[in-house]
């Protein structure tokens, strides 16, 4: 069973254009990371909120990815566009 991860962030004023270029460059590596099933980006211009919606094979796969980008500096680069750390939530798919 897969898990869904949401990361909600607030983008700094006037930083979205640069963030978009950053994401275009980095998303192929996310999608290619072991255990990644999908990644979608949603943005609300009125609130400057960015929602990253990811599906992973397991929480352990996602946490390995977070450890990797923390170690290689990509997380720090991502956070440089934001007004604080992301709100990260994990969800399991429910078959109803």
Where does residue 93 rank: exposed (0-12), middle (13-18), buried (19+ CB within 10 A)? exposed
Domains by residue range for the chain, with CATH? 3-92 (3.30.70.100)
Q: How many CB atoms lie within 10 A of CB 10?
A: 16
27-86 pLDDT per residue, tens: 999 999 999 999 999 999 999 999 999 999 999 999 999 999 999 999 999 999 999 999
What integer pLDDT is reported at residue 11 of this predicted model?
A: 97
What integer pLDDT is reported at residue 61 of this predicted model?
A: 97
What integer pLDDT is reported at residue 95 of this predicted model?
A: 83
> What do you get for the CA distance between the two ends of the chain, in Å?
14
Tokens found for residue 92: 């399991």
Q: How far apart are CA 74 and CA 94, in angstroms?
A: 32
Q: Are 90 and 1 in contact (CB under 8 A)?
A: no
What integer pLDDT is reported at residue 50 of this predicted model?
A: 96
């Amino acid at each position: 069973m897969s898990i869904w991860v949401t990361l909600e962030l607030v983008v700094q004023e006037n930083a979205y254009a640069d963030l978009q270029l950053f994401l275009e460059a980095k998303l192929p590596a996310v999608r290619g990371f072991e255990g990644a099933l999908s990644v979608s980006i949603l943005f609300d211009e009125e609130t400057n909120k960015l929602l990253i919606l990811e599906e992973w094979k397991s929480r352990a796969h996602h946490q390995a990815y977070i450890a990797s980008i923390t170690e290689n500096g990509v997380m720090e680069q991502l956070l440089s566009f934001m007004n604080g750390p992301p709100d990260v939530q994990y969800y399991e798919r429910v078959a109803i």
